[in-house]
């Protein structure tokens, strides 16, 4: 490979690193609610690093927002789960293949983050304080009875449904990747 090609690849990789540093949505509970551990993942190492894993029907789950996501970095980067290693969202795929630019990716991230902040604010007004849970989980839980009947909470719940739909549409369009067979990846688990 010639020097120009190597330079172009390292510039794209650096751009992807900057884009992810400005985003964090595949770790902070906006895009996914959990990461399913794979046979190659060493659960003990992750536990030693302070991550809580829970056993579910399809294996061990690392729930999001991930406690290892600190200040836009992964504090267990060398030991991160396999699905974290292989996952690239649509933004990153398009950036790496030259279909998009860093500027466009950052604009889309800013837009999605604004919509996620709006959902968080409405959840707060609706009385939800479960900040340690993923956004989609909080959304489902706050709509379950018993409902807070205060007028402010009722108004927030009403506004929450279209706000969450708008966020999910943007995540589907700009971030989620297609699985084999043409389906979009499931919203709960990280990676295909
Ligand atoms: S959602 Fe995409 S851009 Fe955002 S941190 Fe994850 S891989 Fe990076
Ligand atoms: S382990 Fe690292 S890459 Fe995986 S969800 Fe947590 S912070 Fe993100």
80 lines ligand 2 (CB under 6 A): yes
The residue ranges of every structural domain in the chain are 5-174
* Beta bridge partners of residue 36, listed in sequence order: 61
Cβ contact 49:27 at 8 Å: no
The preferred substitution site among 68, 71, 75 for testing ligand 2, maximizing ligand atoms within 8 Å of CB, is 68
DSSP for 3-69, please give it.
HHHHHHHHHHHHHHHHHHHTT-TTTTTSS-SEEE--TTS-HHHHHHTT--EEEETTEEEEESS-TTE
Identify the CA nearest to 19 among candidates 72, 78, 85: 72
Which ligand 1 atom is at minimum distance from the Cα of 21? 5
CB of 31 shorter than 6 A to ligand 1: yes
Ligand 1 centroid – CA 168 distance (Å): 15
Residues 6+ apart with CB under 8 A from 58: 36
- What pTM, to 2 d.p., does this model score? 0.91
Q: What is the pLDDT of residue 9?
A: 75
Check whether 167 has a pLDDT greater than 60.
yes
User: How does pLDDT run across 100-151, given as a tens digit for each residue?
Assistant: 999 999 999 999 999 999 999 999 999 999 999 999 999 999 999 999 999 9
């Amino acid at each position: 490979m010639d020097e120009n090609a190597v330079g172009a690849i390292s510039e794209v990789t650096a751009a992807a690193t900057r884009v992810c540093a400005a985003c964090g949505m595949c770790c902070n509970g906006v895009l996914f609610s959990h990461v399913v551990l794979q046979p190659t993942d060493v659960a003990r190492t992750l536990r030693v690093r302070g991550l809580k894993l829970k056993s579910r029907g399809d294996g061990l789950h690392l729930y999001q927002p991930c406690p290892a996501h600190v200040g836009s970095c992964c504090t267990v980067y060398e030991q991160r789960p396999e699905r974290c290693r292989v996952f690239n969202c649509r933004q990153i795929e398009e950036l790496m293949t030259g279909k998009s630019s860093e500027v466009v990716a950052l604009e889309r991230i800013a837009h999605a983050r604004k919509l996620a902040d709006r959902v968080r604010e409405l959840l707060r007004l609706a009385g939800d304080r479960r900040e340690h849970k993923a956004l989609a989980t909080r959304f489902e839980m706050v709509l379950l009875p018993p409902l807070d009947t205060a007028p402010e909470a009722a108004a927030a719940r009403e506004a929450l449904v279209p706000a969450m739909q708008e966020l999910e549409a943007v995540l589907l369009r700009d971030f989620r990747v297609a699985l084999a067979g043409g389906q979009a990846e499931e919203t709960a688990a990280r990676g295909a």
